[in-house]
């Protein structure tokens, strides 16, 4: 694992801990709100399962909680054929057996998509053909009158085959067997009258005349001694093309409040999302820059690091919101593996601004920039640009480890009046919303190189 920053999800600790399943939510989230106790030990084998990068996490704005792929509820948001991109409504999915009802079929030999071709001969000039292996539906006697509605024509061909007739004959035969067995074991008077005069089970007679070949096939399979190789029958019915299965788009909800996190557009051709609540759009992005500018030396984060020697480390925070954010950084008590020292435990992140407006901020009064630079140096901030703030830490390895992992507890808060403005205006007679203060608590794990 290369040097990176992993974000811990608030739910995964409780999901993997079976003993905490019946505890209240306040106790299950204790490790996420307590800055003195990390939810997962830094060198635990469960850390890759319970923490991931920010790009792979969701955010529930109702619960103000980070959600991962293991703690979301998935539900279908739309069905479509992956070949023709035809949208299928929910009521037709069951009736069509989760398959495309148009002209989308797979080749029984190479599973490639079949095409409808015209031969120009006979009363049924159309057939299905594979452009890869040159298989044709004429090999099994499938020819069609029209180039459209292939699925309906295939159903009519199957209805005329002998297999449905044989099935109905077997069904009637076993109903007779059931009546005979019921009468022999003390059935009613009417059941005794329905029994044949011989009192025995009648002999089965095939409705299509090919029962002998099927019985030979059953006898061949029952006589097998080695199941590693089974010879398939040369019957052309075993080489029928199959309809292409439907695909579906998934929507994701929060497992706690069932708020929608991801909702794609229902159309098959659309790649946009109606709702897309990703954690990267709400939480600060924390990165490990190797160099801030030319005046700062290049930092090597791969290791190996010397045990007992302080390692300068820079963490860069970026605010994705259009409002100012306050960040508070805390760490667990000194452990046996690492010691952390830094001065910037609390700072503010400027709001996100469009890229072309950053240059205008650089034209401010130079005296204000000088005073701000002096204040940042005293507070432990080494760089500030736009919506990004970089702080410096001093990490000292105390023992040889294969991966130097630093757990940090992050508390970020901002004022939000967008979500409550419509609700408050409708309930308070058109008055403006007073807004709310949103506070997010989560743990991060800074993964570095080895220490020797």
pLDDT score, position 125: 87
pLDDT score, position 423: 47
293, 284 contact by CB (below 8 A): no
- As a whole number of Å, the CA-based R_g of the chain is 35
pLDDT score, position 422: 47
Beta partners for 411? 328, 441
Peptide bond into 253 cis (omega under 30): no
Q: Which long-range contacts (CB under 8 A, 24 or more apart) does 175-181 make?
A: 176/201, 176/202, 177/201
CA dist 140 and 230 (Å) reads 22
pLDDT score, position 105: 92
Q: Measure the N-to-C terminal CA separation of the chain; round to a whole number of Å.
A: 17
DSSP-derived pairing of the beta strands 115-118 and 105-106: unpaired
pLDDT score, position 23: 44
CA dist 207 and 100 (Å) reads 32
Helix, strand, coil percentages (3-state) for the chain, rounded to 5, are 25, 30, 45
Q: Give, in order, the Cα–Cα distances in Å from 396 to each of 90, 91, 309, 329.
A: 59, 63, 6, 18
CA dist 50 and 71 (Å) reads 11
User: In sequence order, what DSSP letters do the residues of 227-252 get, joined into one string?
Assistant: TT--PPP--GGGG--EEPBPEEEEEE
Q: Give, in order, the Cα–Cα distances in Å from 404 to each of 287, 301, 307, 333, 424.
A: 16, 10, 11, 16, 49
Angle, vertex CA 421, rays to CA 416 and CA 425, nearest 5? 155
CA dist 305 and 5 (Å) reads 18
261, 68 contact by CB (below 8 A): no
For 406, counting Cβ atoms within 10 Å of its Cβ (0-12 exposed, 13-18 middle, 19+ buried), the class is buried
Using DSSP's 3-state secondary structure scheme, residue 441 falls into strand
Beta partners for 416? 436
Diameter of the chain measured on Cα atoms:
115
Q: Which helix (DSSP H) or strand (DSSP E) does residue 12 occupy?
A: helix 12-16
**Report field, pTM of the whole predicted structure over 0.85:** no
pLDDT score, position 345: 82
313, 299 contact by CB (below 8 A): yes
DSSP-derived pairing of the beta strands 273-276 and 260-264: antiparallel
> Would you give the DSSP letter of residue 262?
E
- What string of pLDDT tens digits covers the 452 residues of the chain? 678 899 998 775 444 443 333 444 444 444 456 666 788 888 888 888 888 899 999 999 888 888 988 889 999 999 999 999 999 988 889 888 898 888 899 998 888 999 999 877 777 889 999 999 989 988 888 888 888 888 888 888 776 666 667 777 888 888 888 777 776 665 555 555 555 555 566 677 776 655 555 667 677 777 777 766 555 554 545 578 889 999 999 999 988 888 999 999 988 888 889 999 999 999 999 998 877 665 666 667 776 888 888 888 888 999 999 999 999 998 876 566 788 887 778 899 999 887 655 555 555 555 555 555 555 555 578 888 888 999 888 888 888 888 888 889 999 998 887 654 444 444 445 555 567 888 899 999 988 888 88
CA dist 318 and 339 (Å) reads 25
User: In sequence order, what DSSP letters do the residues of 171-193 get, joined into one string?
Assistant: HHHHHHHHHHHHHHTT--HHHHH
CA dist 66 and 14 (Å) reads 14
- Per DSSP, the chain holds a count of helices (H) and strands (E) of 12, 22
């Amino acid at each position: 694992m290369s040097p990176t920053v992993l974000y811990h999800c608030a739910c995964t600790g409780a999901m993997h801990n079976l003993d905490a399943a019946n505890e209240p939510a306040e106790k299950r989230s204790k490790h996420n709100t307590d800055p003195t106790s990390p939810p997962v030990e830094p060198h635990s084998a469960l850390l890759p399962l319970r923490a991931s990068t920010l790009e792979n996490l969701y955010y529930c704005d109702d619960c103000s909680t980070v959600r991962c792929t293991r703690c979301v509820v998935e539900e279908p948001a739309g069905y479509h054929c992956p070949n023709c991109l035809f949208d299928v409504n929910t009521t037709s999915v069951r009736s069509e057996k989760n398959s495309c009802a148009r002209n989308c079929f797979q080749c029984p030999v190479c599973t490639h998509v079949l095409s409808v071709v015209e031969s120009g001969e006979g009363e049924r000039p159309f057939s299905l053909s594979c452009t890869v292996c040159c298989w044709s539906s004429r090999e099994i006697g499938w020819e069609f009158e029209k180039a459209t509605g292939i699925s309906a024509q295939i159903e009519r061909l199957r209805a005329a085959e002998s297999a449905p007739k044989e099935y109905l004959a077997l069904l009637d035969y076993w109903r007779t067997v059931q009546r005979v067995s019921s009468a022999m074991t003390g059935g009613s008077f009417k059941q005794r009258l329905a029994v044949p005069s011989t009192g025995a089970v009648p002999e089965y007679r095939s409705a299509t005349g090919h029962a002998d070949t099927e019985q030979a096939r059953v006898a061949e399979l029952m006589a097998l001694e080695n199941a590693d190789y089974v010879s398939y029958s040369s019957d052309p019915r075993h080489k029928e093309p199959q309809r292409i299965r439907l695909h579906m788009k998934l929507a994701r909800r929060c497992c706690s409040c069932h708020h929608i996190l991801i909702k794609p557009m229902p159309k098959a051709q659309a790649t946009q999302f109606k709702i897309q609540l990703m954690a990267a759009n709400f939480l600060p992005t924390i990165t490990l820059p190797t160099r801030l500018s030319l005046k700062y030396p290049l930092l090597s984060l791969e290791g190996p690091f010397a045990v007992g020697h302080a390692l300068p480390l820079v963490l860069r925070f970026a605010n994705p919101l259009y409002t100012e954010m306050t960040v508070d950084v805390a760490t667990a008590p000194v452990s046996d593996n690492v010691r952390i020292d830094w001065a910037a435990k609390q700072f503010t992140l400027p709001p996100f601004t469009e890229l072309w407006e950053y240059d205008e901020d650089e034209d401010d009064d130079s005296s204000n920039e000088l005073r701000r630079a002096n204040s940042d140096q005293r507070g432990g901030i080494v760089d500030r640009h736009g919506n990004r703030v970089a702080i410096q830490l001093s990490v000292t390895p105390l023992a040889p480890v294969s991966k130097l992992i630093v757990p940090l507890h992050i508390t970020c808060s901002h004022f939000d009046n967008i979500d409550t403005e419509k609700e408050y205006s409708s309930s308070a007679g058109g008055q403006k919303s007073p807004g709310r203060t949103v506070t997010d608590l989560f743990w991060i794990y800074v993964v570095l190189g080895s220490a020797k």
